[in-house]
Amino acid sequence: MTTSSPAGLPLGGLLALALASFITVLTEALPAGLLPGIAAVFDIPEALAGQMVTVYAAGSLLAAVPVTLATRGLRRRPLLLVSVAGFVLANGITAISGSFILTLVARFAAGIAAGVLWALLAGYAARMAPDALRGRAIAIAMAGTPLALSLGVPAGTFLGGIIGWRASFALMSLGAALLMVWIRLGLPDFPGEPAGRRVPASRVLALPGVAGVLAVMMLYVLAHNLLYTYIAPLLALVGLGARVDLVLAVFGLAAILGIWATGLVVDRHLRRAMQLSLWGFVLSAILLAAGSDAAVIVAAIGLWGLAFGGAATLFQTALARAAGPAADIAQSMLVTGWNLAIAGGGLIGGLLLDLRGPDLLGPVALVLLLPAAAILAGARRHGFPAAMR
């Protein structure tokens, strides 16, 4: 059983949670890099194959809040094991399925598992750590996210080109199965919420600071996905259309640096770290909106990655503090809002591309970020307090 003391963190258990976040994000994003092979095997257009990502997000979006509410009384480790088992099953089915409909069903089930897991991660990490290091514990648990985007997806895509996309999903299923053993042997168990202490979801949203954190998160992630989803046409404006992979590597490496830096300061300087993240993103959006030089655009994307890398940790830490014992329900609301922002960014960005082209993406992202900055400025007592409570 993993233990912790005021002198340090239970790194073994937190790394297991980081691997869980890695597998979750890799399962979600990997099909985007394997679309030609998937489409060829099922004899379907690539646009239809891309719906493997859509139904995954839909599963997370629809299941996060109701499933978390329904399971809030269950012990945490068995629930975490069930959610990881969902990835074992879903990725295993995807690896062997001969029916695209069955594959979509498996992807939807994986999305449900992801919704439950994301709602668990921050609260689980926080409960494993000393009070003064809870933000750092959440940062470690979330480190799998930028690693999956910057390293896992490119590596999985490369490997899929060599051994086939089915083998990539089979390896993810095997990795999730091994993770279940690690969780069972290396993580402590925690009780769920006692029936008499469960706060209704409507009251969780009304807790001081919760709505403000969710509002800033929605605007921030909406602006991020507006740009990230359509980064290829944005880069084509400055002659970088053929170097998207290298520019995304710059973003990913900067994001890793961002989450590392966030982990160092989040417990003592949450508000200041959130301000740096948000205003760094604002500056990068200004450069993306006004820049016509390739070097400036690459620098702006590096700054954007640095700002975004620790954002999930900042939002989850702020929400865990604001919601207290109802943290898992609040985190499920964050999962729902995050997925809505992903969908909204894709939709709004697509409309902007059809309307005016990619030159509008930067200015619209800036328009979304400024009200987020205003909400953050007003959240000095609750949500993003200057001092840790």
How far apart are alpha carbons 331 and 333 in whole angstroms?
5
Average pLDDT over residues 267-289: 91
- The answer to whether the 11-197 and 202-378 domains have the same CATH topology is yes
Distance CA 161, CA 32 (A): 13
**Are the CB atoms for 166 and 31 separated by under 8 Å?**
no
Beta bridge partners, 198, equal: none
Burial class (CB in 10 A: 0-12, 13-18, 19+), 45: exposed
CA 30, 31, 32, 33 dihedral sign is positive
Question: Are 116 and 321 in contact, with CB atoms under 8 Å apart?
Answer: no
The predicted-structure confidence for 68-91, as pLDDT tens digits, reads as follows 888 878 888 999 999 999 999 999
3-state secondary structure of 71: coil
Orientation angle between helical segments 11-33 and 165-186, nearest 10 degrees: 160
Residue 3 pLDDT: 43
What HEC string does 165-226 produce? HHHHHHHHHHHHHHHHHHHHHHCCCCCCCCHHHCCCHHHHHHCCCHHHHHHHHHHHHHHHHH
| Residue 26 structure tokens | 């890799």
Backbone angles phi, psi at 189, to 5 degrees: -100, 150
Which tens digits make up the pLDDT trace of 94-138? 999 999 999 999 999 999 999 889 888 878 888 888 877 887 888
Q: Which fold has domain 11-197?
A: Growth Hormone; Chain: A; (1.20.1250)
77 CB-contact burial (10 Å; exposed 0-12 / middle 13-18 / buried 19+): middle
What pLDDT score was predicted for residue 256?
86
What are the residue boundaries of the structural domains of the chain, listed by start?
11-197, 202-378
- Residue 233: how many other CB atoms lie within 10 Å: 16
Local confidence band at 2 (pLDDT 50, 70, 90 cut-offs)? very low
Helix (H, G, I), strand (E, B) or coil at 5: strand
CA distance 291 to 300: 9
**CATH placement of domain 202-378:** 1.20.1250.20
Percent of the chain with pLDDT over 70: 95
pLDDT for 139 equals 82
* Residue bearing tokens 């990913």: 252
Long-range contacts at 216-219 (CB < 8 A, ≥ 24 apart): 216/274, 216/278, 216/315, 216/372, 216/375, 216/376, 216/379, 216/383, 216/384, 217/315, 217/334, 217/337, 217/338, 217/341, 218/337, 218/340, 218/341, 219/368, 219/369, 219/371, 219/372, 219/375
pLDDT value of residue 166: 94
Q: What is the pLDDT confidence band of residue 358, given thresholds at 50, 70 and 90? A: confident
User: pTM for the complete prediction?
Assistant: 0.77
Summarize the confidence of residues 377-382 as an average pLDDT: 83
Identify the CA nearest to 109 among candidates 47, 56, 39, 33.
56
Taken in order 92, 98, 100, 102, is the CA torsion positive or negative?
negative
Helix axis angle, 76-96 relative to 11-33, nearest 10°? 30
